[in-house]
Structure formats: C-alpha cells, structure tokens
C-alpha cells in the first residue's frame, strides 16, 4: 500500500457551511486518517498481510499514526520519518445527514519519494495507491507492482489529470461517481489505458466496467449511515484484501461493498473500519 497518512481533525454540525458562512459545531475529535492509512488499515482488518509506504513528520501526530499501524498489525517499516516537516492533516466537517467536506494539508506526504516505494511495491501481490502523494511516487509504485506481476489498483482521489503512461499501469481504477466525471468519464479512462474501472456510487452500490462494454452492478448493503467519511477508503482496502486472498473480481467487489457499508455506520475514518468477522457476518446475513 502506498499513500498518505494524516491526522484527521473532525467537527460535527447540523449542516456544512456555504462559502463565507460560519456554523456552530457539536463535537470535535482527532483520528488517524489519510487515504493511504485508511485503506491499509481497512485491508489489514479485512485479513490481509499489509505493508505501508508513507511519509510522516517527527511530531506527536506521527506517533499517533504509527501507534495505529502497530495496533492493526500493519508493517510500518517502509514509513519515512522526516524532521522539520509536519505530518499531514485533514480538516473534516460532518453534517447531520452524514455528508462531509474535507480539506487536506499534505505536509510530509508531499515528500514521499519514488525511490522509497519501489522496493516494497515490487514485493506485493496487490499494489494499491491514491493521489495524495506525488504522481511520480504513484507511478513508481504501480510500475514496480506491474513488473513483479502484482495486481495494480489506483484510487484516483483527489481527481486530477492523469496520463496514459500512468493509467496503462492500472489493472483497476476506482473513482467515485464525481471523480469519474472530472476524469472525463469511463470511456476516457479506457482510452488512456485502464484495464477495468469500478465506479463507486455511495448508497447505490458500485458498477464494474470493462473495456468490452460490459457493466456489472454491485448492490450496496442497506445500513443506517451516520458518517460517510471513510466509506470509499474502506471499499478500496476491502477490495484489495479480497483480491489478495484469491477471490474473483465480483466476489471482491461484494466484499468491498460490505466493508464500506459497515464503515458508514460509525463516526470517523480509521475508527469506523470493520473487522473481517464483521464483514463476513454482513455478507452472509439474510437479505
């Protein structure tokens, strides 16, 4: 797993503010987060053996994040500790209807180097990356994974212009329904070289699109959502863990949908991520 590690600073409110508006909050909390850390912890809790390539500062926030990795059995030997640079932060507002608004400050994440990630990625069965670290680093991780015969997955968040050189290294690209439009649509991702595209649709599930025009819909699991902050990350981590276990693409997408559904029922990012037992219980529960 290659990606960002942040300390999430979370405030809840009745509704998210508009431009120039101040609203009163109800609760405040600090949680481990960052798309990379969320996804690697989701994969670890879902039963995968995981290693995380990331960069953090030399501060209290870094120590909090490393403690989380240790507690969840994530191999943190490839996490860089950088002096004089703050650990990444995410400022998150969560509304009463479980929607969220997020501002990310990269900090040490912006300094994760291509040279640092290539070795670890080249030893993985599945390589999963996002876009909260430099594109050159993402490219190096995906290239190393492809060269080693790993399954390569890109979660293109935050959405940005991506080259054919990068997308041609991806076995699966997983944007949400907003990101896929910003990226030019599913057909554009295929034109640039993606082998398969999974579009997550929130409470409407997800769809698997292949370059031959086949579209397979994956139903969501009905739950009472309270916070969608880490749902997409839970989906990606669960999907990667299931693929690493040898499951098929569709089996892994159902597993991912269950992982994401459970995550929405609890507040926070890392604190909301479910265990393998919880995921399997939902998968085998009566319809």
Just list the catalytic residues: 233
Torsion of CA 240, 146, 49, 229, to 10 degrees: -40
On whether the CB atoms of residues 15 and 96 are closer than 8 A, the answer is yes
Beta pairing partners, 209: 197, 215
CA distance 81 to 227: 31
State whether residue 55 is helix, strand or coil. strand
**Closest by Cα among 214, 218, 223, 236 to 264:** 223
Please classify residue 90 by burial: count the beta carbons closer than 10 Å to its beta carbon, then call 0-12 exposed, 13-18 middle and 19+ buried: buried
As a whole number of Å, the CA-based R_g of the chain is: 18
Distances (CA, A) of 175 to 103, 135, 183, 190: 18, 16, 9, 13
């Amino acid at each position: 797993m290659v990606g960002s590690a942040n300390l999430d600073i979370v405030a809840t409110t009745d509704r998210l503010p508009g431009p120039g508006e101040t609203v009163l909050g109800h609760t405040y909390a600090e949680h481990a987060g960052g798309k990379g850390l969320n996804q690697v912890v989701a994969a670890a809790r879902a039963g995968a053996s995981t290693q995380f390539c990331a960069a953090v500062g030399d501060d209290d926030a870094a120590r909090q994040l490393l403690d989380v990795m240790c507690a969840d059995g994530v191999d943190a030997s490839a996490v860089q500790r950088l002096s004089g640079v703050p650990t990444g932060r995410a400022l998150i507002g969560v509304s009463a209807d479980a929607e969220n608004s997020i501002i990310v400050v990269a900090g040490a994440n912006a300094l994760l180097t291509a040279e640092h990630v290539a070795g670890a990625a080249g030893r993985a069965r599945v390589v999963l990356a996002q876009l909260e670290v430099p594109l050159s680093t993402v490219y190096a991780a995906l290239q190393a994974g492809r060269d080693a015969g790993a399954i390569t997955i890109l979660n293109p968040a935050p959405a940005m212009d991506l080259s054919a050189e990068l997308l041609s290294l991806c076995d699966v690209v997983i944007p949400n329904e907003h990101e896929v439009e910003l990226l030019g649509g599913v057909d554009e991702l295929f034109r640039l070289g993606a082998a398969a595209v999974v579009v997550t649709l929130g409470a409407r599930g997800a769809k698997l699109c292949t370059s031959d025009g086949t579209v397979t819909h994956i139903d969501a699991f009905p739950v009472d959502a309270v916070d969608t902050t880490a749902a997409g990350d839970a989906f990606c981590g669960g999907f990667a863990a299931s693929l690493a276990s040898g499951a098929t693409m569709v089996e892994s997408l159902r597993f991912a949908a269950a992982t994401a559904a459970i995550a929405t029922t609890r507040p926070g990012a890392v604190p909301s991520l479910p265990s393998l037992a919880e995921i399997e219980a939902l998968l085998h529960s009566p319809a």
